[in-house]
């Protein structure tokens, strides 16, 4: 149970930092979307890190790489909103 709470806390912090680094009028708002943004960034960073051999099979991304992944997810979010696929 502690691992899940830790993932949510790190995801929320990574999402907040990503929203601060990449501001925009159509950022996802609210606690849940910010947390999902950070968790998605962490999964993306973990997947890419494992694919290039930076992380082992049982390792996950840290806070800094989670933030970088969340910024990438936020960039994709901005592109989808500007294309009209998602409404903010």
The 10s digit of each residue's pLDDT in 24-68 is: 777 777 888 888 888 888 888 888 888 998 888 877 778 898 899
- 87 against 50, higher pLDDT: 50
User: Coil, strand or helix: which one is 7?
Assistant: helix
- 85 against 38, higher pLDDT: 38
Q: How far apart are CA 83 and CA 42, in angstroms?
A: 25
Task: State yes or no: pLDDT of 5 exceeds 80.
Answer: no
């Amino acid at each position: 149970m502690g691992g899940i709470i830790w993932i949510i806390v790190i995801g929320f912090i990574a999402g907040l930092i990503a929203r601060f680094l990449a501001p925009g009028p159509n950022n996802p708002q609210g606690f849940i979307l910010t947390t999902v943004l950070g968790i998605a960034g962490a999964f993306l960073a973990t997947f890419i890190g494992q694919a290039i051999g930076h992380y082992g099979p049982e390792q996950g991304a840290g806070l800094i790489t989670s933030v970088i992944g969340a910024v990438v997810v936020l960039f994709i979010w901005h592109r989808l909103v500007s294309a009209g696929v998602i409404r903010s």
